Amino acid sequence: LCQYDNVLCIEYEELLFSDKREIESIVKNLTNKFSKRFEYFFGANSDFLGEDKVASAVERLEGMSQVSAGLTEQPDPKYGVHGGHSNQDGTGMSDGKVIGSFKGRLFYCGGAQRFLHNPNFKYSTFGLFLAKSLFPDFEGNVEIQHGNKLSNSATPLTEDTIKGATGKDLLIVHSHQHCKVPVEEFPGPQLHINAEYYDLHPKHLGNRNG
């Protein structure tokens, strides 16, 4: 996704800080990165941050950091952040201390209903390729292996698998397609993807409408 002109990718390490001076450096570096990436839209001489805006951004990040350190799962009403953030390896962190893993599993559902009674009925995996690009920390992977074979370790949502789902798991729903259980019963967050016109399979190059 990072190759597209309208996408800005930010690495995990670019968001780490331990004191106020590093926060100010992060604000300036990311602003410069943003302005260079989207120079074609905003122009070469755009000034996004004056000193007052830098100070405001630093103050907000400091406040968010202090608030999130004392939270668990409930979000803060002012900043919209929650506690239990993770390190890059999926372990939780609080004041720099590892507090255990909270990495969730990747679930998916949605298949063409006209094939529902076919004994080989399977959910579509198109959206999983996008989901793994956006949320790589979730357990479950999909990839094309040698010989154009599909490898998929994500969990299909069924009446049995939903019993083990938690609020930390993520469900990828293929819009306008059939799921075997009502998706509103899933306890975790959901991402609904309409793959009807935009085929997300990396090997399908003749996509309609782009």
Cα→Cα distances 67→27, 87, 103, Å: 19, 18, 22
Q: Which long-range contacts (CB under 8 A, 24 or more apart) does 133-136 make?
A: 133/1, 134/1, 135/106, 135/170
Residue among 179, 181, 157 nearest 170 (CA): 157
Closest CA to 122 of 170, 154, 166: 154
Kindly give the residue spans of alpha helices, DSSP state H, lying in 4-147.
20-37, 39-42, 51-69, 126-134
Supply 108's token pair. 């998916």
pLDDT, residue 69, reads 67
Cβ proximity of 57 and 29 under 8 Å:
no
Three-state DSSP at 61 gives: helix
What are the pLDDT tens digits along the chain (210 aa)?
688 888 888 887 888 887 888 888 998 898 888 888 888 887 877 777 777 888 888 888 888 777 766 665 566 666 666 555 555 455 555 444 433 344 689 999 987 766 666 777 778 887 888 888 777 888 888 888 888 888 889 999 999 999 999 988 999 998 777 888 899 999 988 988 875 544 444 554 444 443
The pLDDT of residue 186 is 93
pTM score of the predicted model:
0.48
Cα–Cα distance, 131 to 9 (Å, whole number): 15
